[in-house]
Amino acid sequence: MTAKNNADPEDSPLGVLDDAASVDTAGIGILGGTAQVRVTLPAEEDEDLADDGVVEGEVGIDLVVDDLTLPATPTPVLDPPRIDDVIDAVVVEEPARTAVAAPDRGAEEKAAALFLAKADADRAEVPAAKPARAPQVPVQKETTMPASDDKPAASEPARPAPRTDVKLTAKRLGELGESARESADLLTTDRLLDPHRVAKPEPEGGWSHLLYTLSGRRLNIGDGRRARERKELTARIAAPLAGGARFVPVLSRKGGVGKTTVTALLGMALADAREDRVIAVDANPDRGTLADRVQRAPHGKSVRDLVRIRDDVRGYHDVSAIVARDATRLDVLASDADPRVAEAFSDSDYRDVADVAAHYYSLVLTDTGTGIVHSVMSATLDLADQIVIVSGLSVDEARLASETLTWLETNGYAQQARDAIVVLNQSTPGTPLVRLGELQAHFASRARSVVRVPYDPQIAAGGTIVFANLLPETRKAARELAAHLVEGLRAKAA
């Protein structure tokens, strides 16, 4: 029997695994009310055994003694018959101790036999554990927790799923189903060309173009901020319009506010950005000046000539012989400039012109005469898809423009009034006397959008308007107006 490390065995009420002096043996003492059994640990180590029954070097023993009277003096330790048995048991705290008489030798042997039988049964249920040596630690709980290995078991790596080979078979065109056939329009540039091998367009903008030039056309950082904004605005204007022709009259109850100028600017901005045809019709019952602001045709033909040949028109070439076209590709149908003509342009004349224009143009702008109760206004409003109202930057001009919206709302055109675009046109230089913020807030509460056109010397001169020669602020305002118009037409169609 080996010596124990604890000086007084009775200090602990539980049986503990002693730290034996030899690595080959360890003892479990029955001290006081605890049974002491000698357990020999195997010297050899088996790496294949699990450490399920070893807790930090401790070996727990589940000892149950029925009606056994333990002596007050230490009991000799019995050696087990097999040295390769490692017992995983639990040391349980026995019930309250009572004073008993000293047992005889037969009772002691009976207790040892019961212990060995219990140990054999536990060994059959629990696999042998890997022997380990650890310092003595008292057991504080009735149950033992299985110890984990110092080295975690390596998990087996997941095997990839077997690859399935797809058999490719060639088929003739006649063997393909209807759903598998592709039309020629699917062979697009984005599908067939590698974007990394397609050269970028030359950048626009001061610094971007300068860097592109100095690097020998090798460093292309893209367009500048202003160039990007301009292209985005162009894309808004060029958005497609599904369906037939759209009619847009430009109204004003007061002359001299810039109704004809706004019609010309709007038509130029639309024709310059869009691919389809745009026409501006001068429907003033009296003498109109729209052709003078754009470009009057050298042949001198007018809207009355189109009314006269309306039944003989067979194609666009018949219409193009009457209209005038400027640099932006805007077609203009001038009013009759002959002072000897006494008959005014009538409601039926406008309907005839609109019927012909609808066959060859996507957008038809109409420069109406001054006022809203003349002979052409009824047909103009009946065909209108969107309305543009022009106001000057004075108190009386703004009030008349607001009254125009009121007249439309009370005469069956309430929806057109709510979808209308109000243009605040500044025809004089300098800062206007009215508060622009208040004016814009008023019309924004009644119409769909408000656009301000700044003063431009070329427009104020009263001559022909060249869109490319306008101030950048004026061109941007005209393009904003065109973008709002197209977005309103698209929203209405949706």
The pLDDT of residue 491 is above 70:
yes
> Residue type at 159?
R
pLDDT band at 444 (very low <50, low <70, confident <90, very high): very high
Q: Can you give the pLDDT at residue 332?
A: 95
| Selected residue with higher pLDDT from 23 and 175 | 175
pLDDT band at 235 (very low <50, low <70, confident <90, very high): very high
Which residues face 424 on adjacent strands? 391, 452
Dump pLDDT digits (tens) for 378-416. 899 999 999 999 999 999 999 999 999 999 999 999 999
Average pLDDT of the residues in 150-176: 50
| Long-range CB contacts (within 8 A, 24+) of 96-99 | 97/32, 97/33
Query: Which of 67, 69, 68, 58 has the alpha carbon at shortest distance from 14?
Result: 58
Percentage of the residues of the chain whose pLDDT score is greater than 70: 65
Average pLDDT of the residues in 347-375: 89
- The torsion angle over the Cα atoms of residues 268, 272, 274 and 278, rounded to 10 degrees, is 40
Sign of the torsion angle spanned by Cα atoms 301, 302, 308, 313: positive
Q: Can you give the pLDDT at residue 116?
A: 77
Average pLDDT of the residues in 110-135: 63
> CA-to-CA distance for 233 and 482, rounded, in angstroms?
9
The pLDDT of residue 179 is above 80:
no
Percentage of the residues of the chain whose pLDDT score is greater than 90: 41
Please give the model's pTM, rounded to 2 decimal places.
Answer: 0.61
DSSP strand E in 419-480: where? 421-425, 449-453
> CA-to-CA distance for 385 and 493, rounded, in angstroms?
10
The pLDDT of residue 370 is above 80:
no
The pLDDT of residue 143 is above 50:
no
pLDDT band at 417 (very low <50, low <70, confident <90, very high): very high
Average pLDDT taken over every residue of the chain: 76
Query: Which of 288, 268, 240, 386 has the alpha carbon at shortest distance from 331?
Result: 268
The pLDDT of residue 180 is above 80:
no
Average pLDDT of the residues in 123-151: 47
Average pLDDT of the residues in 307-323: 93
Query: Which of 91, 94, 98 has the alpha carbon at shortest distance from 118?
Result: 91
> CA-to-CA distance for 332 and 322, rounded, in angstroms?
9
DSSP 324-369: EE-TT--EEEPPP--TT--SPP-HHHHHHHHHHHHHH-SEEEEE--
SS3 helix, strand, coil % of the chain, rounded to 5? 35, 10, 55
For tokens 């209308």, the residue is 420
Q: Can you give the pLDDT at residue 183?
A: 86
225-237 and 259-273 helices cross at what angle (nearest 10)?
100
pLDDT band at 194 (very low <50, low <70, confident <90, very high): confident
> CA-to-CA distance for 32 and 402, rounded, in angstroms?
110
Average pLDDT of the residues in 95-102: 46
Q: Can you give the pLDDT at residue 121?
A: 72
Q: Can you give the pLDDT at residue 476?
A: 96
Average pLDDT of the residues in 447-472: 94
The pLDDT of residue 140 is above 60:
no
| Selected residue with higher pLDDT from 435 and 66 | 435
Q: Can you give the pLDDT at residue 124?
A: 61
- How far apart are the two ends of the chain, measured CA to CA in Å? 100
